[in-house]
Structure 1
Amino acid sequence: MCPVRPRALVAASATTAVVVAAGVLWLTGGLRAADTPATVRPGQEVDQHLFRTRLVGAHVTTVPKTKFAAARRLLVINAWVVNPTRETTGTMAGADDDVFAHGIFLYWNTRNGPRPTLKDAQGIAGDTLFRSLQPRLPTYVAVQYELSATTVMPDHIRVALAAYRRTAAGVLDPRGYWGYQPRRYTTRVEHDPFTHRSGRVTQIIPVLVANVTLPVKR
């Protein structure tokens, strides 16, 4: 089994872009022994630097059909998360890597069917749902993956958590920014089907700090 949640970006001709594509090498057998993170128990705190995370459980649920959407089957991973910085961060937003849901990597055996697709991550406080993590405020977060009709969920799932680091100043933002702590980089050429232009894309393979195995409730 291997964790993966690829992120893709095509660079324009004769340019180089740096993107996050964690898991691409693992799909092709590129995960090295040195990359193996520590194994921790459910509920044990993991210091990701940008987040302090306790993964506490996982369950499968079905969202009923509505007038606007078909019924959906979801895998939900639950966590208590603390943002130890002085900046508000998110639980889920676009393609940014500095949000909580993008630091979780799901190991998956293809014999169980199509890989679950990350759909959303919501903070929960009472009856309120939100997508931000306030500084130093413990927040219960539900990370949602959509399951296909043919996906078979095992009794346990294993996930990895990535490490982050802060860059003091960015090109576009002098205040600095958070991103994955890179273990290594890989480069490939990608083709943009819309512009028909090709370019080199450098991918960041992040440091993984912990593996956690969670029982799946049904």
Structure 2
Amino acid sequence: MHSYAPVPPPPAEPPGERRQRRWVVPLCVLGAVAVLAPVLWVTGGFEETPKQPSVPAGKALDLGLFTVTVRDARVGLETGAFGGKKERFLIVRMRVVNRGKETKSLDRGGLADGVAALTKDGKWVKPEQVEGVAGGSETGVAQPELPVEVSAMWKLGPVDAPRKLTVGLRKWTYDHGFTDSTFNWMIDREDDTLVGRLTLPVAELSTSPAPQRTPAGRPAKRTPKPTVSPR
């Protein structure tokens, strides 16, 4: 049999060395944070892409089914949906190209479903009327790959004179519904995500000077015809 002497415990570390080892990991972490912080400051941190990105007028936006380029906004006189005299409208002009394979309406069930204006109450409302011109002729539809000059219109009161207008454009997706397997272009109206949010200055309604009229009771003067004197 062999006898073994008890093994003595390891010597205790000096207080200074123990304190130094405790700070090794925290200093490494602080170093990593110091390197990462400038990168996050440059890239914007961990923030997500905004749901309503601000974009300028004149930029072509991909809405999925349509490519839309918003031009400007103005106040104008147009005939209402049911005819009659002309009324004041807030008009947003845009260039639209249908990227699908089928003809689509510019109004309800088509382009208008993805266009909205922001009211003073913070609500998004679709245009009341949408008109288009393609190839020099008026049209209410967008044919595949044929550019259309579109006017989206919201009715104004007799004294309304907005200086700015905020317009939002929604994304179209090619998908099927819950109850059918047929794929169609559609918009999720419950999603407040926008492809673009544009704030446009509104041009005022231009009025041409009234024609000069002859005062009542006085006949208009006639310009005498030139006469040729005989030689």
Quote how far apart the aligned CAs of 1:62 are: 1.9
Q: RMSD of the alignment, in Å? A: 3.0
The residue number in structure 1 matching 2:66 is 51
5+ residue gaps, structure 1: 1-32, 183-202
The residue number in structure 1 matching 2:168 is 160
Which of these residues, 87, 102, 108, is aligned with residue 72 of structure 1?
Answer: 87
Q: How does 1:31-42 map to 2 (within 5 A)?
A: 36-42=51-57
5+ residue gaps, structure 2: 1-47, 205-231
Q: State the TM-score, normalized to the length of structure 2.
A: 0.58
Mapped to 2, the partners of 1:153 and 1:165 lie a distance apart of: 33
Aligned partner letter, 1:160:
G
- CA deviation profile, 1:8-63 (whole Å, cap 9, x unmatched): xxxxxxxxxxxxxxxxxxxxxxxxx9763111110101111011110001110123
Which of these residues, 104, 108, 111, is aligned with residue 100 of structure 1?
Answer: 111
Answering whether residue 197 of structure 2 is matched by residue 211 of structure 1, we say yes
Aligned partner letter, 2:91:
V
Displaced runs of 4 or more, over 3 A: 33-36, 168-172
Give the count of matched residue pairs.
155
Quote how far apart the aligned CAs of 1:175 are: 4.3
Between Structure 1 and Structure 2, the one with more helix by share is 2
Local SS of the residue matching 1:205? coil
Instruction: Report 1 or 2 for greater relative contact order, CA contacts < 8 Å, sequence distance ≥ 6.
Output: 1
For the pair shown, which has the larger CA radius of gyration, 1 or 2? 2
Structure 1 residues 40 and 48: alpha-carbon distance in aligned structure 2, compared to 1, 3 A threshold: same
Q: State the TM-score, normalized to the length of structure 1.
A: 0.61
Quote how far apart the aligned CAs of 1:105 are: 1.6
Mapped to 2, the partners of 1:170 and 1:40 lie a distance apart of: 33
Structure 1 residues 40 and 62: alpha-carbon distance in aligned structure 2, compared to 1, 3 A threshold: same
Between Structure 1 and Structure 2, the one with more strand by share is 1
